[in-house]
Structure 1
Amino acid sequence: MADVPTELFIDILSRLPVQSLLRFRSISKSLRSFIDSHTFTKHYLKNSFSIKIILRHNYDLYQLDFSNLTTHVKFSVPLNINLFNPNIDLLGGSCNGLLCISNGVSEIAFWNPNIRKHRVIPYLPIPRNESDFRLSKCVHGFGFDQSACNYKLVRVSFFEGIRHIMFKTQVRLFSSKTNSWKALPNIPYALYSTQPVGVFVENSLHWVVTRNRSQPCLIVAFNLTQEVFNEVPLPEIQMADNVKGFQIDVSLLGECLCMTVNHVSVRHHTTKVEVWVMKKYGFRDSWCKLFTFEDSCFNKPLRSLKPLCYSSDRSKVLLEVKGNLYRDCKKLFWYDLKSEEVTCVQGIPNFNETMIYVGTLLPPSLPIDNYNYIKA
């Protein structure tokens, strides 16, 4: 392999499935070190040939291969399960092929399901209600600060005053390098949406918030390097005459920040959904409306919709859809960008939560990433 240009060799490796990379790791120490590095992982994530989908149904986790959405495999989770509350929480999203999970009682772990390795981190108990405030929501965000080579987990706890007049929002940050949590200044925002995890885009974690209950919602970004919150500029959203207002949520689509706008009627039914992507991060004028759904597209009242990822040829978008009935679970749908047709993905049971991640071989511990070339 010495005669193969480094760039070409990296490109070849980054197009292989995880199972093949596992075999190549045994060829030499230098090749194993490179495959395990963040340098290679960056190339691998860009190609995204090993996309996985995690489904949570009640107390169980399942994995779907993106290339075959009909076969699901149950996970054996590496945490102690509480018999009285056997739920496993997907905290903070995925990053570099790692998931952040918790048993909700005593353990939090960074976990790579592909290599079946995990790292338990110090557990931070859920904050208790205070005399004048009660805990309303608690969300997490998980990301990798590349400048410091440091995995970070953010927890945002939203407390409402007993009379719903006042609120306060606490922020706690875990650092892999120090293996500890620290308190950050409270932020002047109230958590708005039911989105449980922060969306990791451009070194920042994103949530939907509002300055107070009477003001429009907005998107804030927590920069992992600077460890500060900033507001994300939003496009002009035109509200139809027959709706009460709109709600927004954020997700990741491709490599772009994605926003769904739910137009809500007076009876609190979603009448249509707009999907926007920010093609150039941080620039308001780069927001582009990708498509719009009418409620009738799904043959039943619509409660929420989240884009998950593009198909391999980028002609379709995979959607997570929930009906408006309280007992409805979520379903997967394909949306064809050209024909504008919506089709349900068959063969998958109802689920409560879904998450996209890319299979990698990165261990859940911090690497020493100084591989500038390959010796093979």
Structure 2
Amino acid sequence: MATLKDLPTVLLIEILSRLPTESLLRFKSVCKFWYALINDPINFSFQDKCIFIKRRVMVNFQHFTYIPSIIKFSLAPDRSMSILDVNNPFSYTAFFVICGHSHGLVCLSFNRDIFLFNMTTEKFHKLPLSILHYPGDIYDIDFSSTNAVGFGYDSKSRDFKVVRVVEFGSQYGETNLPARVEIYDLRKKKWREIESAVCGRVTRAPTPQMHHKGTYYWWAYKEGRTNIIHTFDMSEEVFGEISVPNDVVNERMEYISMGTLNGSIIIFHYSKTGNEKTFDVWEMEKDVVLWSKLMTIGPVFGVEKPLLFVNSDELLMEANEGRVISYNIKTHVTKVLPIKGLPCVFVDTYLDYSLVQY
């Protein structure tokens, strides 16, 4: 009599993919083969799609707070959706930043504090404090601050990494000391410093950033305030820079965002004012630093800014009054999602729901 172990791997994946996440987590302990099979994001990249979104809500008439929420889209024919609010680990500040995601882990940071959030277990893990410092009696350094944080997956070492760029200064003005860089290896559970020249400066305010296929991308600037995309290769552990389309070289950060579409990196560039807005979408050719305008969306009434593509046709956008809508770029049909915050506050990242644990 045939058993499950006799099934072709492709058929076994097809069967497992129809099970709820909770069952898959239990089945990982059946044997080493099942553990590797279920834990491989390539096999289960077609699991439910999720968005990790930060929204601002009023606590009372005078105060507000930020709530991290998970919007989960089912790929089943009924296209159901659920929303889950999670506890904010930064209870002392509203200004934490989403610093990338990979395989169901999301990185959140505020200055020295960095957390990893597991989408499957819905738990936070706080990383140890930075190891970087200059002795004040030698360099007259009064403080250090985080310039940039990025999180991603290194396919060579098969490990997750957090990269942190640290700046140093004094209360009497800027110093000439270069920024220093440290990396946290998730398996080793510790920081280490690396020697790698930084190509640009990421602004302190929340800016477009993301992890994509082993590289982290920040929107940054060079001397003269010229915009660039600052990159970090998670495997080679080196920084780089990518030029941006001429239309956005000198554009302000609040009118730009980054994302992906059909495996390519895209830039959203959107209009500043008016009830009817248009959005240009620029696409970078794969493996080539060459931009082309892919499409112009709109004008769309009552929309503030684009958020991300759920698939090749469906774009999520922040509408006025703090709403989120789904917009089909082919049919132009809109659908209001049952999630709301205060206007112009959404920060988002698109995730494949996977089963990685740490």
TM-score relative to the length of structure 1: 0.70
CA distance in 2: counterparts of 1:144 and 1:362, whole angstroms: 12
Q: Is the 8 A contact 1:91 1:142 kept in 2?
A: no
CA distance in 2: counterparts of 1:238 and 1:143, whole angstroms: 26
5 Å-filtered alignment, 1:13-24, equals 13-14=16-17, 16-24=19-27
Question: Is 1:333 the counterpart of 2:325 in the alignment?
Answer: yes
In the other structure, the counterpart of 2:198 is 187
Q: Is the 8 A contact 1:261 1:273 kept in 2?
A: yes
Equivalent residue in structure 1 for 2:349, among 324, 347, 355: 355
Equivalent residue in structure 2 for 1:210, among 221, 227, 242: 221
Deviations 1:130-163 (A, max 9, x none): 9799988733211010101121111234679988
CA distance in 2: counterparts of 1:138 and 1:274, whole angstroms: 29
In the other structure, the counterpart of 1:231 is 241
Unaligned runs of 5+ in 1: 365-376
**How many pairs does the alignment contain?**
332
Q: Is the 8 A contact 1:94 1:143 kept in 2?
A: yes
Question: Is 1:222 the counterpart of 2:232 in the alignment?
Answer: yes
In the other structure, the counterpart of 1:318 is 316
5 Å-filtered alignment, 1:41-60, equals 41-45=41-45, 47=46, 49-56=47-54, 57=56, 58-60=65-67
Question: Is 1:308 the counterpart of 2:308 in the alignment?
Answer: yes
- Return the letter of the residue paired with 1:55: I
In the other structure, the counterpart of 2:35 is 33
- Return the letter of the residue paired with 1:284: V
Deviations 1:106-135 (A, max 9, x none): 753333132245544212289899979998
5 Å-filtered alignment, 1:240-279, equals 248-262=256-270, 272-279=278-285
- Return the letter of the residue paired with 1:213: G
User: Bigger shift: 201-210 or 252-261?
Assistant: 252-261
CA distance in 2: counterparts of 1:249 and 1:125, whole angstroms: 32
CA distance in 1: counterparts of 2:224 and 2:133, whole angstroms: 22
CA offset at residue 225 of structure 1?
Answer: 1.1
Task: Give the root-mean-square deviation of aligned CA atoms.
Answer: 4.2
CA distance in 2: counterparts of 1:223 and 1:177, whole angstroms: 18
SS of residue matched to 1:34: helix
- Return the letter of the residue paired with 1:154: V
CA offset at residue 31 of structure 1?
Answer: 5.0
CA distance in 1: counterparts of 2:216 and 2:197, whole angstroms: 16
CA offset at residue 21 of structure 1?
Answer: 1.4
Unaligned runs of 5+ in 2: 57-64
CA offset at residue 25 of structure 1?
Answer: 3.4
CA distance in 1: counterparts of 2:276 and 2:197, whole angstroms: 33
Q: Is the 8 A contact 2:101 2:210 kept in 1?
A: no
CA distance in 1: counterparts of 2:44 and 2:95, whole angstroms: 28
- Return the letter of the residue paired with 1:54: F
Deviations 1:294-321 (A, max 9, x none): 5x52337x4xx3442324xx32222346
Question: Is 1:6 the counterpart of 2:9 in the alignment?
Answer: yes
Q: Is the 8 A contact 1:55 1:62 kept in 2?
A: yes
5 Å-filtered alignment, 1:364-375, equals 364=358
| 1:187–1:65 CA distance, 2 compared to 1 (3 A) | same
CA distance in 2: counterparts of 1:359 and 1:315, whole angstroms: 20
5 Å-filtered alignment, 1:171-182, equals 171-178=181-188, 179-182=190-193
Q: Is the 8 A contact 2:323 2:337 kept in 1?
A: no
CA distance in 2: counterparts of 1:193 and 1:107, whole angstroms: 15
Q: Is the 8 A contact 1:309 1:317 kept in 2?
A: yes
CA distance in 1: counterparts of 2:212 and 2:246, whole angstroms: 22
In the other structure, the counterpart of 1:367 is none
5 Å-filtered alignment, 1:260-299, equals 260-262=268-270, 272-280=278-286, 282-285=287-290, 287-293=291-297, 297-299=300-302
Question: Is 1:138 the counterpart of 2:147 in the alignment?
Answer: yes
| 1:182–1:338 CA distance, 2 compared to 1 (3 A) | same
Identity in percent: 21
CA distance in 2: counterparts of 1:197 and 1:261, whole angstroms: 11
Relative contact order higher in (CA < 8 Å, ≥ 6 apart):
1
| 1:19–1:228 CA distance, 2 compared to 1 (3 A) | same
| 1:260–1:105 CA distance, 2 compared to 1 (3 A) | closer
SS of residue matched to 1:187: coil
